[in-house]
Homo-oligomer: A and B are copies of this chain.
Amino acid sequence: MPLPDINRICVVLVSTRNPLNIGAAARAMSNFGIRNLRLVKPFDPGFREARSAVGAAATLQDARIFASVAEAVADCTLVIGTTGGRDRHLDNSLRRLQDAAPLVKKETAHGNVAILFGSEKRGLSNDDLTRCHWLLHIPAQEDHLSMNLGQAAAVCLYEISRHIGVTHSQTSQPDQPTPAITEEIDRLAAVWFETLFASGYVKPGAGAITEEKLRRMVRRMNLSTPDTEVWMGMLRQVLWKLNH
């Protein structure tokens, strides 16, 4: 059975404004042995020189830049959003960090895991949240939930690396099929949307809401790659027929 692999974790910083926070996150990553840093639309192109990245220059140099969250997490099978708040994300379930860490560990045995941190001011957008399988929060004081980005990253990576670092004897499980990566899910949702449009289910004008809703529904299906391929084949045929 495959073992958990910390190299399958990537930290995704979305629209971070302050390059010192990017450097601080990189430093925490180095402290806890996580190398894969991805940046979505960083505000300041000078982030690679952030002085706060003490001992983490390599992590910062190797950071990859993406134009969207969708592209940044395309090869991931589990996408987790971090949030300080509690009540606004009704569509995503919310887990405490200590409950989330074992799930991250488990997933790294077979797929890539993305941990998203939103911008300092606004956190993750609603559109970013539709890319997330679920959310995690660091339990903090009700009257002071807002954490500094670098500190939140350090706490998350500490807890996750602590879980992965513990070597439990593995219990054998039947071979699970490979979970679908985000890119596959998004492609499936897109073909579904096209099909619904061709069928008249989606009315012109109501497109954006339906597409987002659809993406969430498809994500909730917890599809494997083989199943995704079968669904795609079916839908393409249905779509072809609708258009002819």
Contacts of A44 in B (CB 8 A): none
Known: A173-B94, A221-B222. A52 touches B148 (CB 8 A): yes
Task: Verify if A158 is at the interface (C-beta below 8 Å from B).
Answer: yes
- Whether A91 contacts B174 by the Cβ 8 Å rule is yes
Interface membership of chain A positions 221-238, coded 1 if the CB is closer than 8 angstroms to chain B and 0 otherwise: 111100100110110011
- Whether B241 contacts A148 by the Cβ 8 Å rule is no
- Whether A55 contacts B144 by the Cβ 8 Å rule is yes
Contacts of A192 in B (CB 8 A): 234
Cβ contact of A238, chosen from B30, B87, B140, B199, cutoff 8 A? B199
What separation, in Å, do the CA atoms of A128 and B236 have in the docked complex?
A: 31
Contacts of A227 in B (CB 8 A): 217, 220
Cβ contact of A151, chosen from B27, B230, B238, cutoff 8 A? B27
Contacts of A126 in B (CB 8 A): none
Number of A interface residues at 8 Å Cβ cutoff, please give it: 74
- Whether B151 contacts A139 by the Cβ 8 Å rule is no
- Whether A148 contacts B196 by the Cβ 8 Å rule is no
What separation, in Å, do the CA atoms of A171 and B231 have in the docked complex?
A: 35
- Whether A174 contacts B93 by the Cβ 8 Å rule is yes
Nearest CB on B from A195, distance (A): 6
Chain B residue at minimal CB-CB distance from A139: B168
What separation, in Å, do the CA atoms of A167 and B140 have in the docked complex?
A: 9
Task: Verify if A64 is at the interface (C-beta below 8 Å from B).
Answer: no
Interface membership of chain A positions 160-193, coded 1 if the CB is closer than 8 angstroms to chain B and 0 otherwise: 0110010111011110100000000000000010
- Whether B154 contacts A238 by the Cβ 8 Å rule is no
- Whether A195 contacts B150 by the Cβ 8 Å rule is no
Task: Verify if A102 is at the interface (C-beta below 8 Å from B).
Answer: no
Interface membership of chain A positions 105-140, coded 1 if the CB is closer than 8 angstroms to chain B and 0 otherwise: 000000000000000000000000000000001111
Nearest CB on B from A117, distance (A): 14
A-B contact pairs, 16 of them (CB 8 A): A31-B138, A86-B169, A94-B171, A94-B173, A96-B171, A99-B171, A137-B171, A139-B162, A150-B151, A151-B154, A155-B158, A201-B237, A201-B238, A217-B230, A238-B238, A241-B242
